[in-house]
Structure 1
Amino acid sequence: MKEIYKTARINKDKNFDGKFFFGVKTTGIFCRPSCPAPVAKEENVVYFKDIFEALDQFYRPCLRCRPDINLDYYNGNASGTLTVQTALKMIYDGYLNFHSVADLAGELKVSDRHLRKLFVENLGVPPVKIAKYHRAVFAKKLLMFSRQSVTDIAFASGFGSIRQFNQVFKEIFGIAPSTVKKENIEEGSADTTLLVSYNRPFNFSQVIEFMKIRAIKGVEVIDDTSYARTFRTRRSKGYFIVRDNPGKSALELSILCDNIQCYMEIYNRVRRMFDLNTDFTRINDKFKSDPHLSKGMKAGHVPRLPIAFDSFEFCVRAVLGQQISVQAASTLASRIAKKAALKTEKGFPQGLDYFFPGPGEMTKTGLEGIGITGARQATIANIAQGIMDKTFSLNPNQPFEDFQKEFSALRGIGEWTVNYVAMRGLGMVDSFPATDLGIIKALEKNGKRPGKKEILKRAEKWRPYRTYAALCLWNQ
């Protein structure tokens, strides 16, 4: 592996950006493989599998290639167990900003001691340090690309005090936060515009087109160049706009809200929406030789999975979409938003008129008279009440089997809805709607359509990426 890294570093191969990092012993600086700086001698180089390992060994990020800013550190770096990968996702979302490691371990059904052991074995760094480094890196993004004060940015990034923020930031980057802000803020920039890096190839137009025909009028505004929507989190409400910046291989995420503490959560939810966390190399290699799936790959690449911004909102959409067209379901969802009448404030862009109701608000919203059948009204009410009563969870980190058992127990929820919500609502990449008509037709041979058992048997070889297999089959 070291020889591969060496070759990639010498050739400044961008294909390896994010796969590993290297540090230069004589300078104490670490870089990504494609760094434009002069090539260092091999005897002066040390390799790291992730950004955290480099930071933990007291290397500072290069100011030319900016491995901490221009590159996100999600793909291919969570080696080891599923528990570690799930924990990392939760840390990236800011879980440890408001909870303890013991709480995190409890969510994952392991002891906090065992969780620390898994992190050290797989990443070389305990979860508390991962969270500390992540806060610092995220804060640097905000310092460079937002007009918020240093104090606001400190708390938005999860630091408990401005003193702690200054101390940790200087320890990691060797510079004060105020200096970074002074050097990088641009006059006339938006309230906050963050760069959300992606790996090529990335077809922004294709993802936007998929979203556009499913847009909820009043909640989302989507055109050929941008995606905008209203949002509410536990700590904030506002709207965001996403545009493509192919020159920087990144999405531009502009956020306007009433509490900056939502930034980390919105940033990561947008990454999931556009499926930027998936390492497609392995999936492409697995699927390209399969005659059923290769026909649905574009130029040899698996389609990305657009994941819903809000999982409850998507549950409602999935129920509305049962046995009617996508456009009709979008119309009904828009009527629900209008009837719930959770209006946005003055100053929101035209078309962003409502917030979509949450479970509690949905139970109080009468759905009569807007074209939704009585049976579907009851199902939506069951979902909302089930979330309120905690009879099932929309936690994307739970095992699919747990979600399937609890969600399917609700009246009106069938196998197709369970799998579709798991796919696009929660981002569970191994769920597979074997009874879907599009999948059945794609696997048809000589006019004979396979049954469910036969389809599931065929799909075994597509694990653990059966959701992407479904996308390929639908894409034929």
Structure 2
Amino acid sequence: MKLDHETCYRAVQARDRRFDGRFFTAVLTTKIYCRPICPAPTPKRENCIFLPCAAAAHENGFRPCLRCRPEISPGLFAQFEGAAVVSRALNLIAEGALDDGKVADLAEQVGMGDRHLRRLFTQHLGASPLAVAQTRRILFAKQLIDETSLSMTDVAMAAGFMSIRRFNETMQKTYQRSPRELRRIHVAENPENSPTPAEITLKLPFNPPYHWAALVRFLAPRVIPGVEAVGSDFYCRTICLDGLHGMVEVRPVEGQNHLLARIRFPKVVAIAPIVERLRRLFDLNANVTEIAAHLERDPQLCDRVAALPGLRVPGAWDSFELAVRAILGQQISVAAATKLAGRLVEAYGEPLNLETPTETPLQRVFPHPEVLAIADLTQLGLTRARAKAISSLATAVAEGQLHHFANLESAVHALCELPGIGEWTAHYIAMRALREPDAFPATDLGLRRSLSPDNPLTKTQLLEMAQFWRPWRAYAAMYLWLSEGVKE
């Protein structure tokens, strides 16, 4: 990632929020690294170097600033244009792939050798995969110390440290303060913040703008009854991880560049994976400014992009759940598919089991693949072909046949090998569940009509036009859908 020294320095002088998360300022005299919006006095130009990510600063011996809090900087694991492999590897690291694994295993999952992956990380991030994983643990631990009342043992476990001793040593080395000292500092500076132990509330930062209303407009018709609920200022759902149940609620915060997540789950070690899933669900890692700047150069999209600033591609809490929902939506209305999803959950979803019961209309978790693999889904009103498609998908997931894919093409090919999944469904799953920014369901009638209402484009014509939108065709699809009215 190329960083122009003069441009970065001017952004730091102006404390320009548009650059927050795009680089970090490392100060040679203090050995501290900061976000571009840090309120501290601007260092002298000759004392600054600019680095593409927090891990690069960490690997070069700089420690995080306590004032601007790099741990809540947006876009730490954003997509990199032209570096799809790095983006996939970053997503896997964020899911904990290197918490107890090796770089060679990570490289195998993205379809290359570990030496080549290390070179790509150095080229695009200025840091090794292990440094990225270590920095992620440190910064997430710092956020938990500041924003929750978890014990230090729980913080260490939730952040992915293998021992409390290793956690204490790492935090002391990084911040030159013990974890308890860090918490005392934060409590002294923020006496009004008193997190309750019954649930965890965390900030989920993003690069502005964020079009929450557009996200709600897309998700609201598609919520799964009994599992999800969406309103103008909230999204909540039941969750199930490792057989344990919980709930999450996410809300926008007016005037702030973060969403607020409330998490209720009995196992603290699951907090980091839950946060990462929420970040993917709400597409918080997208650099929407660069994506919009690319797409609005096309006359066909420029007005649509201007009308929906900060548009995201809604993700999914669970890939299997989204894939089932996509199959249910084939060739029927959104409302009809939602009704079928409700029947599926009512018949095969486990009743929500919380350690502390709460008043909520959401009373079930989505069915497990092992359950749907052997269920007779025709009793719910599904056609035999659709029931077979869901059963085959569930069997493949339960047997571990569908895991990580090296690229978009391999994902689409593997999905299309399953009965009842065609090109549209495969691209839709890749777009939302697998977070492939270039996925594009070109056979979608709504997309073909949106650019030519009276005479819908052919698939070939649409694909030819969409070449200019690469590598962000999934975002182009969202602009087309939401500006015309979405049909699944």
Superposed pair shares fold, TM > 0.5: yes
Distance 1:120 1:427, change over 3 A: closer
Pairing 1:6-405 to 2, within 5 Å after superposition: 6-75=9-78, 81-184=83-186, 186-189=193-196, 191-234=199-242, 236-299=244-307, 301=309, 303-346=311-354, 347-391=357-401, 393=402, 395=404, 397-405=405-413
Preserved contact between residue 302 and residue 468 of structure 1 (Cα < 8 Å): no
Structure 1 segments (4+ residues) deviating >4 Å: none
Aligned-pair distance for 1:167? Answer: 0.5
- Give the 3-state SS of the residue equivalent to 1:229 in structure 2: strand
When the two structures are aligned, how many residues end up with a matched partner? 472
Q: What amino acid sits opposite 1:372 in the alignment?
A: L
Aligned to 2:464: 457
Q: Counterparts of 2:126 and 2:443 in 1: how far apart (Å)?
A: 43
Q: Counterparts of 1:66 and 1:390 in 2: how far apart (Å)?
A: 39
Tell which has more relative contact order, 1 or 2 (C-alpha 8 A, sep 6+): 2
Aligned-pair distance for 1:209? Answer: 2.9
Preserved contact between residue 296 and residue 302 of structure 1 (Cα < 8 Å): no
1:433 equivalent to 2:441? Answer yes
Distance 1:188 1:104, change over 3 A: closer
Preserved contact between residue 104 and residue 113 of structure 2 (Cα < 8 Å): yes
Q: Counterparts of 2:74 and 2:177 in 1: how far apart (Å)?
A: 20
Aligned-pair distance for 1:79? Answer: 7.7
Segment drifting more, 117-126 vs 401-410: 117-126
Distance 1:333 1:398, change over 3 A: farther
- Give the 3-state SS of the residue equivalent to 1:248 in structure 2: coil
Q: Counterparts of 2:292 and 2:241 in 1: how far apart (Å)?
A: 35
Aligned-pair distance for 1:236? Answer: 4.6
Aligned-pair distance for 1:311? Answer: 1.0
Q: Counterparts of 1:122 and 1:70 in 2: how far apart (Å)?
A: 18
Gap regions ≥5 residues in structure 2: 188-192
Aligned-pair distance for 1:302? Answer: 6.2
State TM-score, norm by structure 2.
Answer: 0.91
Distance 1:341 1:389, change over 3 A: closer
State TM-score, norm by structure 1.
Answer: 0.93
Q: Deviations over 1:111-155 (max 9, x none)?
A: 333333333343332222221111011111111112221111111
Q: Counterparts of 1:199 and 1:99 in 2: how far apart (Å)?
A: 30
Aligned-pair distance for 1:300? Answer: 6.3
Q: What amino acid sits opposite 2:309 in the alignment?
A: H
Tell me how large the CA RMSD over aligned residues is: 2.1
Distance 1:302 1:159, change over 3 A: closer
Aligned-pair distance for 1:385? Answer: 1.4
Q: Counterparts of 1:121 and 1:443 in 2: how far apart (Å)?
A: 38
Aligned-pair distance for 1:72? Answer: 4.6
Q: Counterparts of 1:25 and 1:305 in 2: how far apart (Å)?
A: 39
Q: Counterparts of 1:260 and 1:413 in 2: how far apart (Å)?
A: 37
- Give the 3-state SS of the residue equivalent to 1:246 in structure 2: coil
- Give the 3-state SS of the residue equivalent to 1:461 in structure 2: helix
Q: Counterparts of 1:153 and 1:83 in 2: how far apart (Å)?
A: 31
Distance 1:132 1:79, change over 3 A: farther
Q: What amino acid sits opposite 2:385 in the alignment?
A: A
Q: What amino acid sits opposite 2:163 in the alignment?
A: S
Q: What amino acid sits opposite 1:252 in the alignment?
A: L
Preserved contact between residue 25 and residue 36 of structure 2 (Cα < 8 Å): yes
Preserved contact between residue 197 and residue 250 of structure 1 (Cα < 8 Å): yes
Q: Counterparts of 1:296 and 1:79 in 2: how far apart (Å)?
A: 22
Q: What amino acid sits opposite 2:15 in the alignment?
A: K
Preserved contact between residue 419 and residue 431 of structure 1 (Cα < 8 Å): yes
2:474 aligns with one of 467, 473, 476: 467
- Give the 3-state SS of the residue equivalent to 2:379 in structure 1: coil
Aligned-pair distance for 1:29? Answer: 2.1
Aligned-pair distance for 1:355? Answer: 0.9
Preserved contact between residue 302 and residue 472 of structure 1 (Cα < 8 Å): no
Aligned-pair distance for 1:473? Answer: 1.9
Preserved contact between residue 216 and residue 333 of structure 1 (Cα < 8 Å): yes
